[in-house]
Amino acid sequence: MAYDFKEAFFCIYDEPDKQSAQNAFEAWKNSLPPYGMEPFKKLVKTVHNHYDDIFAYWDAPFSLTNGYTEGLNGLIKMSNRLGRGYSYEIIRAKTLYSKEARKVGSGIRAGRGKVEYGPHIPTLLKQAEGGELD
C-alpha cells in the first residue's frame, strides 16, 4: 500500500504543466487514509511548506532538476573513498576538472532538451570506476 502511494506521488512529476501537477498533488493528498501513513503526512507538510518552490519546477522552459549536482556529489564521495588522504579541495578539483570528461565529444550533450554545465557525468563515472580520475 505504501509503495502504491509512493509511486502515485512520483507520477505527479509526469504531469505536463503546473496546474495539472497541483491538481494531481491535491488528489494524491486526499487519497491518503486518515490513519497511519505518517511518513506521507510529513511529506504533505513538507510540500505545503515549500509549495511555491516545488511547483516552480513546471515554470522552467526545460526540465531542470538538481540531479546533476547529486550525481557529481556521489562521484566526489566515491573519489574520497578511493583516495583516502586527499583533501576535499584536491578531490573536488580532480572531479570538476577531469581532462577526459571535459573533452569535446566525451559524451552526448546536445539535442536532449536539457542544459548541463560541467564535466560529463558518465565519463567521470567510467573514470572513477577504472581508477583513472586524474
All cell numbers assigned to 93 = 578539483
44, 72: one domain:
no
Q: How many CA atoms lie within 13 A of 65 on its CB side?
A: 7
Number of domains in the chain: 2
Q: What domain range includes position 27?
A: 2-59
Q: Is residue 134 part of a domain?
A: no
Q: Are residues 72 and 116 in the same domain?
A: yes
Same domain membership, residue 76 and residue 55: no
Cell representation of residue 97: 576538472
DSSP 13: G
122 & 76 share domain? yes
Tens-level pLDDT at each residue, the chain (134 residues): 889 999 999 999 899 999 999 999 999 999 999 888 889 999 999 999 999 989 988 888 776 677 778 888 888 788 777 767 777 777 777 777 777 766 666 555 555 555 556 677 777 777 777 777 65
Q: What is the pTM of this model?
A: 0.52
Q: Give Cα 122 to chain centroid, integer Å.
A: 15
25, 42, 59 - which closes a domain: 59
